[in-house]
Amino acid sequence: MAGRVLTCQIDGQDVSGLEESTILEVAREHHIRIPTLCHVPGLPEAGACRVCLVEVEGAARLLPACVTRIAEGMKVKTESERLLKYRRMTVEMLFAERNHICSVCVSNGHCDLQWLAQTLGVDHIRFPYRYPALPVDSSHARFVADHNRCVLCLRCVRVCGEIEGAHTWDVMGRGADCLVITDLAQPWGESASCTSCGKCVQVCPTGALSEKGKSAGEMAKQRRFLPYLTLMRGGNHV
Amino acid sequence: MTKRTLVIDPVTRIEGHSKITIQLDEQGRVADARFHVTQFRGFEKICENRPFHEMPALMARICGICPVSHLITSAKACDAILAVAVPKTAVHLRRILNLAQILQSHALSLFHLSSPDLLLGMDSDPLRRNLFGLAQTHPEVARDGIRLRQVGQTIIEILGGKRIHPAWVVPGGVSAPLTAEKRDQIRDLLPEGLVALNRRLDQFKELFAQFPEEVDSFAHFPSLFLGLVDDHGDLEHYNGPARVIGSGGAVVKDGFAAGAYPEYIGEINEHDSYLKSAYYKPFGYPDGIYRVGPLARLNIARRCGTPRADRELEDLRALSKGPALASFHYHQARMVEMLFCLERIEQLLNEPAILDTHVRAQAAVNAEEGIAMAEAPRGLLLHHYKVDRDGLVRWANLIIATGHNNLAMNRGVLQTAQRFVDGERLTEGALNRVEAVIRAFDPCLSCSTHAYGQMPLEVELRDVSGGLLDVRRR
């Protein structure tokens, strides 16, 4: 059911979009760049990473562009000192939270988190690293899950549940103890529901999920299948 | 007079952090001297629970000077875990990378770190006794040294994508084949390297002859020598079994493979150093003292196997009867090996299958243990991993060249201190010689280079109760 067309302003530019559109969707349609991390074209939004925060006139808080719908007359700002500060802080906290050792990571040079840090000018982490002792699950015959590199974007959870329909991935624990898990926190290799399709690996933004046998810098992800699959299934979430 | 201790801290113009203590007796004579490594890296623990495919890149981070050695030895240990035959072309390419690194590392050791002692003099002004001082007084030597290092580093960059920590060597082979264009780029670099080295060979051989006292006292003693040889007993840096020879040249043990190292190499923790001392197990500690590195390799090998290097090897061998026991000759051995590296790289580039695109064997975990040896610039390097069925590293043991040489370096420090250090009259030049014996071994104590010659040298004179009597700084 097509909704009404609403008009609003993004960075001073008059734009329009369907009323169910998000700020992110309308911005991208009009070639206005908003940085994202948990967002992947073809998957339902999670609003998990807070990297796409924007300023909306009249709103006291910063709002995530990926899950905030446009409204008639809305005035949005996607770039400001304040936004840059918060986005940088968010990315720095992601680095500080776990053990992101880019130099030896399978995704070095192909990593969304690394790329984001570069584009935001993150050259130092101002927060103390937590250095959590996190496991590597290498029990699957073809894939490896390294929780040290996970940013909890939930892309794996969403692609597994919404696209593959297996719902092998889910989330356990709260706050700093939060982990993505396979089935009921069993080793991935023992998961009864996993179809070994590998979609989770390909959508993972970092080296958290990778193909077994890859060495440092070798894990380039292939994501072009996703919008195609979604389109073929009726066009939801594109 | 009471007993006193001299401390040289830090030792400069070496790779890593260390200090030397010299014990003086009541008469001010040197009673004992020790070489202490004061830094701790912990890579044997860091790698635990990581996927073994990560090991080559992770282990390369041990060192910024010789990352390629760790990369190659680690990848070879991982090959053993995969239990695959690495494609022949990949072996050739790994060899080229290793030789390029030996070239650049030897150039660094000889020209950047040690030649200020040799060309400016052991007793020269310490403020100028460094590469920058050398560049002022002997700019052509500094230029050739820097250029030789650049040739090696550039070959590493062409092959591996970057000069330091290339991730190109992977378990099962290398990640990308060589292209004709890159082969030609490497080939074009070699003549300039050969010209630069030839320009310096005769000059340095004459220079070395001007240090007879240092030749006699810089770790000049009988010891075993350990290194790899190929099937013909020739110089080998990548593969092959290890050979041990005695100080007279007789073969003590021939052809032990990497997997047999626990039978032959023992390690002992020293109470005053983070560096373990390795010894030849059948002879026990400390009688099993041995040396590794360029001089050891050239003592052990029948010949180099390339024409120019073999001619230079004859000159080196003419300096001693039997194996060279004077560690001062490590410098000349480095020059012979640099020549060998340049010649051998050219030979390997001419291998008919060098551009073959099959350069990687794929497999899962087929063995839960992998042990490998290769020759690093400073000597034999050994990586030993145990993994679980899923390929996560559970245990690792690394024996690096500097560990093999630790007993010899300690004995060398004592020998040099006894010859040159006089407790009654401390001179900067005498203390510099005690450092220079360490430089002859070119130890690699960490992964970072340092401001050579510019770091402070502080010697404290203390009485038996630890009271400070005198301090000398530079």
Boundaries of every domain in chain A = 5-79, 85-230
Q: Quote helix, strand, coil % in chain B, to nearest 5.
A: 45, 20, 35
Size of interface A-B (CB pairs under 8 A): 51
Is residue A235 very low, low, confident or very high in pLDDT (cuts 50, 70, 90)? low
The Cα–Cα gap between B2 and B141 comes to 46
Is B276 in the A-facing interface, judged by CB distances under 8 Å?
A: no
**pLDDT tens digits, B132-185:** 999 999 999 999 999 999 999 999 999 999 999 999 999 999 999 999 999 999
Q: Is B394 on the interface with A (CB under 8 A)?
A: no
pLDDT over 70 (residue B452):
no
Q: What is the pLDDT of residues B401-418, one digit of tens each?
A: 888 999 999 999 999 999
Tokens matching residue A228: 């195609």
Decide if B128 touches A, using CB distance below 8 A: no
Cβ-nearest to B57 among A104, A138, A213: A104
Q: What share of chain A in percent tops pLDDT 90?
A: 90
Gap between the Cα atoms of B47 and B58, Å rounded: 8
Q: Alpha-carbon distance B226 to B248, whole Å?
A: 13
> Is A189's Cβ below 8 Å from some Cβ in B?
yes
CA-based nearest residue in chain A for residue B387: A138
Give the residue on B whose Cα is nearest the Cα of A210.
Answer: B51
Residue of chain B nearest A213, judged by CA positions: B53
Please judge whether B171 and A215 are an interchain contact, meaning their C-beta atoms are less than 8 angstroms apart.
yes
**Of B2, B8, B42, nearest in space to B24 by CA:** B2
A214 touches chain B (CB under 8 A): yes
Q: Under an 8 A CB cutoff, do B392 and A136 touch?
A: yes
- Phi and psi torsions of B198, nearest 5°: -60, -35
Asked if B362 has any chain A CB less than 8 Å from its own CB, the reply is yes
pLDDT at B453: 32
Give the pLDDT band of residue B253 (cuts 50, 70, 90): very high
Residue type, A78: T
CA distance B389 to chain A (A): 8
> Which residue in chain B has the smallest CA separation from A217?
B167
- CA distance linking residue A137 with residue A182, whole number of Å: 10
- Widest CA span of chain B, in angstroms? 72
pLDDT tens-digit map of B343-392: 999 999 999 999 999 999 999 999 999 999 999 999 999 999 999 999 99
Count of beta carbons in the 10 Å neighbourhood of residue B86: 19
Could you tell me which of B313, B327, B302, B311 has the C-alpha nearest to residue B407?
B327
A139 vs B: CB within 8 A: yes
Three-state DSSP state, B258: helix
Tell me whether residues A135 and B49 touch, CB distance under 8 A: yes
pLDDT band of residue B266 (cuts 50, 70, 90) is very high
Q: Which residues have a Cβ under 8 Å from the Cβ of B118 and sit 6 or more positions away?
A: B204, B207, B208, B211, B331
Q: Which of A103, A108, A215 sits opposite B56 (nearest CB)?
A: A215
pTM: 0.90
Q: What Å distances lie between residue A197 and A62, A194, B418, CA to CA?
A: 37, 8, 70
The secondary structure of residue B87, as a DSSP letter, is P
pLDDT value at B15 more than 80: no
The residues in B 174-203 lying below 8 A from A, measured between CB atoms, are 175
Which of these CATH numbers, 3.20.20.140, 1.20.1510.10, 1.50.10.10, 1.10.645.10, describes B43-448? 1.10.645.10
Inter-chain touch A104–B54, beta carbons under 8 Å: yes
User: What is the dotted CATH code of the domain comprising A85-230?
Assistant: 3.30.70.20
Instruction: Closest CB to A214: pick one of B53, B364, B392.
Output: B53
Nearest Cα residue in chain A from B361: A213
Nearest-CA distance B168 → chain A (Å): 9
- Please report how the helices B180-208 and B330-349 are oriented relative to each other, as an axis angle in degrees rounded to 10: 160
pLDDT score, position B464: 65
Measured from the Cβ of residue B397, the count of other Cβ atoms closer than 10 Å reads 14
Give dist(CA B14, CA B435) in Å, integer. Answer: 9
Give the architecture (CATH level 2) of A5-79.
Roll (3.10)
Judging contacts by C-beta atoms under 8 Å, the chain A residues touching residue B56 are 215-216
Per DSSP, A213 falls in state T
Dist. CA A236–CA B27, nearest whole Å = 91
Q: In this predicted structure, what is the pLDDT of residue B456?
A: 38
Contact, B179 vs B84, CB < 8 A?
no
**A-chain residues near B167 (CB < 8 A):** 108, 215-218
CB contact under 8 A, B56 and A139: no
| pLDDT score for B471 | 66
Residue spans of the domains in chain B: they are: 43-448
- R_g of chain B, CA atoms, integer Å: 22
pLDDT recorded at residue B445: 74
Q: Does A134 touch chain B (CB under 8 A)?
A: no
Q: Which residues contact B187 (CB under 8 A, 6 or more apart)?
A: B346, B349
The answer to whether the CB atoms of A215 and B170 lie below 8 A apart is: yes
- Tokens in use for B61? 């981070």
Reported as a single tens digit per residue, the pLDDT across A119-133 is 999 999 999 999 999
Nearest partner of B170 among B23, B359, B348, B353, judged by Cα:
B359
Closest-CA distance, A72 to chain B, in angstroms, reads 52
Contacts of B59 in chain A (CB under 8 A): none
Under DSSP, the state recorded for B39 is -
Chain B neighbors of A189, CB-CB under 8 A: 390
Residue A175's alpha-carbon distances to A76, A88, A97, in angstroms, are 30, 20, 11
d(CA B80, CA B171): 9
Query: Cis ω on the peptide bond leading into residue B10 (within 30° of 0)?
Result: yes
Among the partner-chain residues A139, A213, A216, the one whose CB lies closest to the CB of B167 is: A216
ipTM over 0.90: no
Torsion sign (Cα): B199, B201, B204, B206? negative
Residue A217 touches chain B, beta carbons under 8 Å: yes
Query: Which residue did the predictor score with more confidence, A190 or B6?
Result: A190
Give, for B21, the enclosing helix (H) or strand (E): strand B18-24
Q: Which of B90, B75, B93, B86 is CA-nearest to residue B345? A: B93
Residues from chain B that touch A135, judged by Cβ atoms under 8 A, are 49
Nearest CA-CA partner of A226 in A134, A158, A137, A132: A158
